[in-house]
Amino acid sequence: MYGTIGAGTEQKPHRHQSIALDYIVECEPGCYSLVGTELDENGQIKDPTRVDWESGCVFVTPPGYWHAHFNESGAEARLIPIQYAGLQTYLRTLDIRFA
């Protein structure tokens, strides 16, 4: 998949059972992900770890972890999330959930 996150936008917390390797193609400072194992009563990630993005960086989101992506910069961010979701979807084990 090839993804974009528009300037000043966010992707709400979600999780899936496939590991994700996220390659950041291009971004400006102010782009990051929050990752954690639980949600609070408001649907936000509880005690998250912040992963700041830089163009060319790669990070891993473990299977089953809640994560959300943020772009607080003034420019679109581009990323390529790599995962074996096709196999997980076929086996009906991906279990993608949104907060």
Q: What integer is the mean pLDDT of 10-36? A: 94
Domain enclosing residue 21, as ranges? 3-98
Query: Residue 19 belongs to a domain with what CATH number?
Result: 2.60.120.10
32-90 pLDDT, tens digit each: 999 999 999 999 999 999 999 999 999 999 999 999 999 999 999 999 998 876 666 66
* Neighbour count for residue 39 (Cβ, 10 Å): 15
User: What pLDDT score was predicted for residue 95?
Assistant: 66
* Tally of structural domains, the chain: 1
Apex 97 CA angle, 74 and 38, nearest 5: 85
Which DSSP category does 99 fall into? -
What single-letter DSSP state applies at residue 48?
A: P
